[in-house]
Amino acid sequence: MSDEKIKKVSIVCSRGSLEGVYPALIMANGARMEGIEASIFFTFFGLDAIIKKRMSKLKVATVGNPAMHMPTLLGALPGMSAMATKMMKKTMDKLDIPPVDEFIEMINDAGGKLYACKASVDMFGLSMDDFCEQVDGIMTVGEFYELSAGAQIIFT
């Protein structure tokens, strides 16, 4: 086992479901609590986590999600996603896991950096005005790689 410590992580968040966003937030927050430099690059539907109008409305994906341990047809029934989301949020409340907007604020306050993917922003017709105030900027993939030099890159 190496004695080398991780000094920097760059996390890519590409999924906009509740269970797709939380791993990135938990990893970034944990890194900052350990004194590790952390940034999150939100791309494609992961942008929902930092879009002001959507960040508090993320839902659990029940269709095509093998971790739900239910047939896809059952997951497609009306109300299943809402029910699964309500159950997950209730459990997270019991465990004192903050909602997405609070988590984003905590990460930012701890010095974590949040970036939106320029290609995805352009594809979805978004601008900085659409994002929460904690977003540090919009950057290209190349800029993300430059920022990530020397970092462990984590895909969630």
89-134 pLDDT, tens digit each: 898 899 999 999 999 999 999 999 999 999 999 999 999 999 999 9
Q: How many domains does the chain have?
A: 1
Report the pLDDT value the prediction gives residue 82, as an integer from 0 to 100: 83
In angstroms, the CA 72 to CA 34 distance is 39
In angstroms, the CA 39 to CA 50 distance is 13
Expressed as residue numbers, the domain containing 62 is 8-155
Does a structural domain hold residue 3? no
Q: What is the CATH number of the domain that holds 15?
A: 3.40.1260.10
Q: What's the pTM value of the predicted model, to 2 decimals?
A: 0.89
SS3 135: coil
80 or 108: which leads in pLDDT: 108
Where are the extended beta strands (E) located within the chain?
A: 8-13, 37-42, 113-117, 137-139, 152-155
Does a structural domain hold residue 21? yes
In angstroms, the CA 130 to CA 81 distance is 25
Where are the extended beta strands (E) located within 68-145?
A: 113-117, 137-139
Does a structural domain hold residue 2? no
Does a structural domain hold residue 1? no
Does a structural domain hold residue 126? yes
